[in-house]
């Protein structure tokens, strides 16, 4: 597995990470715990060293899963987790419960995450979403305290604006920004990518395969359980699935003239290879729960898109209007 360094931080990880959310949250049915533990350990064997989780996934169950699965590889892998949502009593945090990045909350979350992840220090601690009620300087200051105490190694942000990134970075250097970024969601390009490049911050794109749509395996007959986050996503209505097929057709066209190692490339591999080709400090974290999907995603590292391919994709996407908001 090739390695990449996230910005100027010196943090070296596998060129393709693994998003772990879907193993216990967000899709239905969720994965069997023992199967997911075995899957995570297989990912390590395949060369993956960068794993992404959060306390809100579950809540708590995803961190517990990742902690148990990766405990034998302590010191060999990088685990990123996140703070930032309000806690709903003993039930824990959940999306939609509101944001809470008060310093005291950040420190409480860190202590709990350390136990669930079974580590002595959190490798990368992201603010899950900017909290308009807490100054970014206070957020960065709280994480800085945790770093000085040896409980956190590095600070990250997620879905932050360029201004917020600068303000945080001035207090505590930001190692990585996690934001949605893919061939069909590129709004971070005008301001946020240049800010990351200037400050030496790595980018970790989530949903690099458009929540599965860019694999080409979803069509108008696809249905989603009510517990699946795609069941109420505007891009997964039958109308949007049909209208956005043109994006998949573009990926298929590029794939037909491209190889991944000794095999022909797939649309998913083209979408991931496109991301890798944008900047050398970009590390996507596609989520998967099946070995064949994992191997397909990792195969994207071997795909080489030349300037003609990249120009072809840019020209085609400039003429495509993607239907449906991302949330």
Domain total of the chain: 1
User: What's the mean pLDDT in 187-212?
Assistant: 97
pLDDT at 156 over 80: yes
Q: Regarding beta strands 259-260 and 18-19, do their DSSP bridges make them parallel or antiparallel, or are they unpaired?
A: unpaired
Catalytic residue among 57, 181, 206, 213: 57
pLDDT at 204 over 90: yes
- Render pLDDT for 92-145 as a digit per residue (tens, 0 to 9): 898 778 999 999 999 999 999 999 999 999 999 999 999 999 999 999 999 999
Beta partners for 206?
180
The mean pLDDT of the chain is 95
CATH assignment at residue 80: 3.20.20.100
265 occurs within a structural domain? no
79 occurs within a structural domain? yes
77 occurs within a structural domain? yes
What pLDDT score was predicted for residue 229?
86
261 occurs within a structural domain? no
- Render pLDDT for 43-99 as a digit per residue (tens, 0 to 9): 999 999 999 999 999 999 999 999 999 999 999 999 999 999 999 877 789 877 899
Beta partners for 122?
152
Closest CA to 155 of 123, 130, 181: 123
* One-character DSSP codes across 198-220: HHT-EEEEESTTGGGGGGT---T
What pLDDT score was predicted for residue 29?
77
- Render pLDDT for 216-275 as a digit per residue (tens, 0 to 9): 999 988 988 887 889 889 999 999 999 999 999 999 999 999 988 777 899 999 999 999
Distance (Å, whole) CA 182 – CA 185: 5
- Render pLDDT for 207-218 as a digit per residue (tens, 0 to 9): 999 999 999 999
Which one has a higher pLDDT value, 303 or 28? 303
41 occurs within a structural domain? yes
116 occurs within a structural domain? yes
Q: Specify whether 327 is catalytic.
A: no
pLDDT at 297 over 80: yes
Closest CA to 266 of 286, 281, 280: 286
Measure CA 90 to chain center.
27
65 occurs within a structural domain? yes
Its domain, for residue 160, covers: 3-212+278-304
Scored b (16 or more CB within 10 A) or e, 104-129 reads: ebbbebbeebbebbbbebbbbbbbbb
Q: Regarding beta strands 124-127 and 18-19, do their DSSP bridges make them parallel or antiparallel, or are they unpaired?
A: unpaired
318 occurs within a structural domain? no
Closest CA to 176 of 191, 163, 195, 189: 195
Q: What is the pTM of this model?
A: 0.96
């Amino acid at each position: 597995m090739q390695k990449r360094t996230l910005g100027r931080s010196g943090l070296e990880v596998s060129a393709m990470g693994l998003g772990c959310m879907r193993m216990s949250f967000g899709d239905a049915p969720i994965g069997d715990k023992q199967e997911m533990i075995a899957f995570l350990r297989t990912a390590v064997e395949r060369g993956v060293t960068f794993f992404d989780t959060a306390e809100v996934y579950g809540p708590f169950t995803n961190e517990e899963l990742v902690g148990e699965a990766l405990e034998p590889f302590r010191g060999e892998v990088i685990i990123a987790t996140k703070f930032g949502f309000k806690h709903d009593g003993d039930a824990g945090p959940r999306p939609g419960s509101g944001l809470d990045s008060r310093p005291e909350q950040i420190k409480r979350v860190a202590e709990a995450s350390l136990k669930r992840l079974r580590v002595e220090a959190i490798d990368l601690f992201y603010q899950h979403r900017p909290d308009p009620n807490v100054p970014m300087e206070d957020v960065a200051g709280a994480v800085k305290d945790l770093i000085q105490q040896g409980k956190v190694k590095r600070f990250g942000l997620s879905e932050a604006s360029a201004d917020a990134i600068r303000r945080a970075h001035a207090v505590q250097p930001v190692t990585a920004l996690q934001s949605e970024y893919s061939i069909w969601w590129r709004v971070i390009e005008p301001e946020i990518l240049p800010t990351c490049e200037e400050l030496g911050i790595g980018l970790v794109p989530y949903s690099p395969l458009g929540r599965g749509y860019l694999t080409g395996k979803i069509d108008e007959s696809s249905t989603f359980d009510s517990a699946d986050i795609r069941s109420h996503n505007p891009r997964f209505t039958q109308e949007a699935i049909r209208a956005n097929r043109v994006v998949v057709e573009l990926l298929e066209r590029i794939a037909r003239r491209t190889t991944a190692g000794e095999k022909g490339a797939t649309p998913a591999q083209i979408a991931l290879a496109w991301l890798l080709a944008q900047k050398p400090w970009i590390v996507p974290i596609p989520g998967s729960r099946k070995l064949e999907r994992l191997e397909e995603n990792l195969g994207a590292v071997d795909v080489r898109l030349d300037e003609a391919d990249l120009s072809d994709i840019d020209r085609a996407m400039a003429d495509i209007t993607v239907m449906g908001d991302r949330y």
